[in-house]
Chain A
Amino acid sequence: MWMICKKEWNQFFSSLTGYIALIVFLLLNGLIFFVFPNTSLLDFGYASLEGFFSLAPWVLLFLIPTVTMRSLADEYKAGTFELLKTLPLTSSQIVWGKFFGALLIVLLALIPTTIYAFSLQHLSAAGGIDVGATTGSYIGLFLLGAVFTSVSLCASSFTNNTVVAFISGAFVCLILYTGFDALSQLPFFANGWDYYVQMLGINFHYKNISRGVIDVRDMIYFFAVILFFIAITKRNIELR
């Protein structure tokens, strides 16, 4: 499994696309939170990364499908998937290897953003940032990234077209992230069901963790969604 993980990592950085995706992610975050006046953390007045944590999922929503779109679609297209299947590897090893490979890249993209937290901590005149909430938010962001990775990997397992994999991956991530929130606003769910509909979406659980409270129910939600999409991916490659 770790060989597949390593291969994914190497594959991502074997082309310019990989570097560009990461640079754009970091540059975009940097511009939004330190340069653009309306969203600048420095002009916010409080030592808080709240703005970053509410906008970062939107950026990840595009970054992660870019990372995973080639994972399986490219293997199908290039014909290497057939060779992979003749090796003594189980479908679980292939899928988890690819999942962790992509997740490490997501982690690599998130690590430099911790500079924002350290910067604010040092720049703060009094009190500093809320360390508990910030740590919780980073855990939430990482788990959200893991869910997006499993969804996008699953999208890549349906097609040999990387563009289709990207679009469908990003679309399902979007639905999971905000779709249920939007759905809960419908009058149909006004009689108390809106809360339960919101619970189906990622945003509900992400917000919970971002408060710095690690609830087992939120963790179960994240892991269940990941396992669900990994299981579909596994089934897809077995049927291929």
Chain B
Amino acid sequence: MQSIVEVKNLSKHYKNISAVDKLSFTVYEGDVYGFLGQNGAGKSTTIRMLLTLIQPTEGSINLFGLKLNAYRKEILQSIGAIIEKPDVYKYLSAYNNLKLFARMSGAHRTEKELLQQLDMVGLKERAHDKVHTFSQGMKQRLGIAIALIHNPRLIILDEPTNGLDPQGIADIRNLILHLSREMKKTLLVSSHLLNEMEQVATRLLIIDKGKKLVEGTTAELFDPSQILIELETLNNAEAFKLITNSNWQSALQPKRNNSLVLKIHRNIIPDFHVWLVQHNIKILSLQSRHSLEDYFLQVTSGEQHVAAFAN
């Protein structure tokens, strides 16, 4: 597999603060590379270095087999990117912004192609409206359209779901899957929406305090079919006793916030429901948690981060 992004010992220091510390990772052609970390972990700093917005303190970045510093212009021609909150020219319409950025990227698109692109991100109806009338979600979609307009090989999306409503988030998820599966693009996506990343990423990198914690395919890191169940009953002690004396005992995980936690394969969750009812366990709540979230918390020193991500 050809490597598209190859980062070696990348560091960025600001006086006494180390934003990124000897980070190394590789993105291969066709990957949907999930770039995960808490706020301030160094994701955006790394992405900014990939896009030459800031200079690394040390380390090397190769994209498409070329050194970024030496072939900046050639490399950027093959990259489409949005960084956090994409800002476009508010006095121009969505259509004119797209046309302008296409030309500045060296691509000349016909009116039909530009409208098709806006249609893909759900903005065709508002194509000729000025951007200052757009919501943050619409600007985000336009940013994505701009990132894709010159048909780049690598698409870098930094928190692409920022400011989007649930429908917008689902649309972005489908768009990422479409770009990866149908258009065979390579994507590097940073996000703190772990359940969204779980659904789209083929490979993951988790960083914390600028350092790499783990990197690998989702199958290597965790089994997405294993679901964590948080169970709260009228009498948790009694329920715990019943479960430890049953076949479900092996699924029990350490307790969390007074809830019982079990790790169960997705297919046998209905059986567990039936078993609970048969044993007259009075259920107050039963919630599933995503494996990636659990895995993430495991590798980033745990429970204290739940609140941060819930926010």
Task: Take A86-B83, A90-B73 as given contacts and tell me if A78 and B90 are in contact as well, using a CB distance cutoff of 8 Å.
Answer: yes
Task: Take A85-B52, A86-B51, A88-B77 as given contacts and tell me if A4 and B104 are in contact as well, using a CB distance cutoff of 8 Å.
Answer: yes
Taken together as a complex, chains A and B put the C-alpha atoms of A78 and B91 apart, in Å, by 11
Is B92 among interface residues, defined by CB-CB distance under 8 A?
A: yes
Q: Which of A7, A79, A82, A90 contacts B100 (CB 8 A)?
A: A7
Q: Which residue of B lies closest to A79 (CB)?
A: B87
Contact yes or no, A86 B53, CB < 8 A: yes
Residues of B in contact (CB 8 Å), total: 26
Q: Which residue of B lies closest to A7 (CB)?
A: B100
**A residues 66-87 with Cβ under 8 Å of B?**
78-80, 82-87
How far, in Å, is B229 (CB) from chain A's closest CB? 43
Is B105 among interface residues, defined by CB-CB distance under 8 A?
A: yes
Q: Which of A15, A83, A87 contacts B87 (CB 8 A)?
A: A83
Taken together as a complex, chains A and B put the C-alpha atoms of A84 and B101 apart, in Å, by 9
How far, in Å, is B148 (CB) from chain A's closest CB? 13
**B residues 52-102 with Cβ under 8 Å of A?**
52-53, 73-74, 76-77, 79, 81, 83, 85-92, 100-101
Is A38 among interface residues, defined by CB-CB distance under 8 A?
A: no
Is A14 among interface residues, defined by CB-CB distance under 8 A?
A: yes
Which residues of A lie under 8 Å from residue B81 when comparing CB positions?
86
Is B19 among interface residues, defined by CB-CB distance under 8 A?
A: no
**B residues 167-222 with Cβ under 8 Å of A?**
none
Contact yes or no, A86 B91, CB < 8 A: no
Task: Take A3-B100, A3-B104, A82-B53 as given contacts and tell me if A87 and B89 are in contact as well, using a CB distance cutoff of 8 Å.
Answer: no
Most buried by B among A14, A83, A90: A83
Contact yes or no, B87 A86, CB < 8 A: no
How far, in Å, is B61 (CB) from chain A's closest CB? 14
How far, in Å, is A105 (CB) from chain B's closest CB? 16
Taken together as a complex, chains A and B put the C-alpha atoms of A174 and B247 apart, in Å, by 87
Task: Take A86-B51, A86-B83 as given contacts and tell me if A80 and B104 are in contact as well, using a CB distance cutoff of 8 Å.
Answer: no
Is B103 among interface residues, defined by CB-CB distance under 8 A?
A: yes
Q: Please classify how large the interface on chain A is, using the bins under 10, 10 to 19, 20 to 34, 35 or more.
A: 10 to 19
How far, in Å, is B44 (CB) from chain A's closest CB? 11
Is B146 among interface residues, defined by CB-CB distance under 8 A?
A: yes
Is B166 among interface residues, defined by CB-CB distance under 8 A?
A: no
Taken together as a complex, chains A and B put the C-alpha atoms of A85 and B49 apart, in Å, by 12
Taken together as a complex, chains A and B put the C-alpha atoms of A85 and B77 apart, in Å, by 12
Which residues of B lie under 8 Å from residue A14 when comparing CB positions?
91-92
Taken together as a complex, chains A and B put the C-alpha atoms of A17 and B302 apart, in Å, by 55
Is A11 among interface residues, defined by CB-CB distance under 8 A?
A: yes
Taken together as a complex, chains A and B put the C-alpha atoms of A15 and B103 apart, in Å, by 23
Is B270 among interface residues, defined by CB-CB distance under 8 A?
A: no
Q: Which residue of B lies closest to A80 (CB)?
A: B87
Is A185 among interface residues, defined by CB-CB distance under 8 A?
A: no
Task: Take A80-B87, A82-B53 as given contacts and tell me if A87 and B76 are in contact as well, using a CB distance cutoff of 8 Å.
Answer: yes
Contact yes or no, A15 B91, CB < 8 A: yes
Task: Take A3-B104, A14-B91 as given contacts and tell me if A83 and B146 are in contact as well, using a CB distance cutoff of 8 Å.
Answer: yes
Contact yes or no, B53 A87, CB < 8 A: no
Which residues of B lie under 8 Å from residue A82 when comparing CB positions?
53, 83, 87
Is B106 among interface residues, defined by CB-CB distance under 8 A?
A: yes
Taken together as a complex, chains A and B put the C-alpha atoms of A85 and B52 apart, in Å, by 8
**A residues 141-159 with Cβ under 8 Å of B?**
none
Taken together as a complex, chains A and B put the C-alpha atoms of A80 and B101 apart, in Å, by 11
How far, in Å, is B20 (CB) from chain A's closest CB? 18
Is A114 among interface residues, defined by CB-CB distance under 8 A?
A: no
Q: Which of A4, A11, A84 contacts B91 (CB 8 A)?
A: A11
Contact yes or no, B73 A86, CB < 8 A: no
Q: Which residue of A lies closest to B73 (CB)?
A: A88
Q: Digit string of A117-131 for contact with B (CB within 8 Å is 1, else 0)?
A: 000000000000000
Q: Digit string of A1-38 for contact with B (CB within 8 Å is 1, else 0)?
A: 00110010011001100000000000000000000000
Contact yes or no, B76 A88, CB < 8 A: yes
Contact yes or no, B92 A10, CB < 8 A: yes
Taken together as a complex, chains A and B put the C-alpha atoms of A32 and B241 apart, in Å, by 97
How far, in Å, is B95 (CB) from chain A's closest CB? 13
Interface residues of B (CB under 8 A from A): 51-53, 73-74, 76-77, 79, 81, 83, 85-92, 100-101, 103-106, 143, 146
Q: In the complex, given contacts A80-B87, A83-B83, A88-B105, what are 13 additional A-B residue pairs having Cβ atoms less than 8 angstroms apart?
A: A3-B103, A4-B104, A7-B100, A14-B91, A78-B89, A79-B85, A80-B89, A83-B87, A83-B143, A85-B51, A86-B52, A86-B81, A87-B76
Closest 7 CB pairs of A and B: A79-B87, A14-B91, A88-B76, A88-B77, A3-B103, A86-B51, A88-B73
Interface residues of A (CB under 8 A from B): 3-4, 7, 10-11, 14-15, 78-80, 82-90
28 pairs of residues in contact across A and B, judged by CB atoms under 8 Å? A3-B100, A3-B103, A3-B104, A4-B104, A7-B89, A7-B100, A10-B92, A15-B91, A78-B90, A80-B87, A80-B88, A80-B89, A82-B53, A82-B83, A83-B83, A83-B88, A83-B143, A83-B146, A84-B104, A85-B53, A86-B52, A86-B53, A86-B76, A87-B76, A88-B74, A88-B76, A88-B77, A88-B105
